[in-house]
Amino acid sequence: MSKKAKEVYLDEDNACFLSVVSTWEMIVKFNFGKLPLPEQPEKIITSQVAQHSIQIISLEMNDILQLSKLHNIKSHKDPFDRMLACQSLARKMPILTPDPWIKAYEVKTIW
């Protein structure tokens, strides 16, 4: 994590959120062997959410309706990234990520 991202994350004046989309992606990647974890993702995610008082963001219809506002990036077809960008737009929330594909959607990112 970058110094700036760590500062934002650790700042007690900031709330921390986790999208169900990210949770879904982690479990899918773990199941396909693309995300090595020391234990099942359900255990890790549940404990980290509780330990760090992370609030969960559900995927809502208004989030999905933002798809038409995303620039069409033909070489990037990751549905998880698209939904995270949509949530960012709908909720006017930045995303803590170094991912250049998400930045390409012109949503506010912090890293």
CATH code: domain of residue 10: 3.40.50.1010
**Crossing angle of helices 79-91 and 20-31, rounded to 10°:** 170
d(CA 54, CA 40): 19
State residue 67's pLDDT score: 93
**Number of domains, the chain:** 1
| Contact between 87 and 57 (Cβ < 8 Å) | yes
Which residues sit opposite 96 in a β-bridge? 110
- Note down the domain range covering 10: 3-110
pLDDT at 6: 92
pTM for the model: 0.90
- Burial of 29 (C-beta count, 10 Å sphere; 0-12/13-18/19+): middle
pLDDT at 17: 97
Q: How confident is the model at residue 111 (pLDDT cuts 50, 70, 90)?
A: very high
pLDDT for residue 46: 97
Q: What is the mean pLDDT of the chain?
A: 94
Give CA angle at 49 (45, 54), nearest 5°. Answer: 135
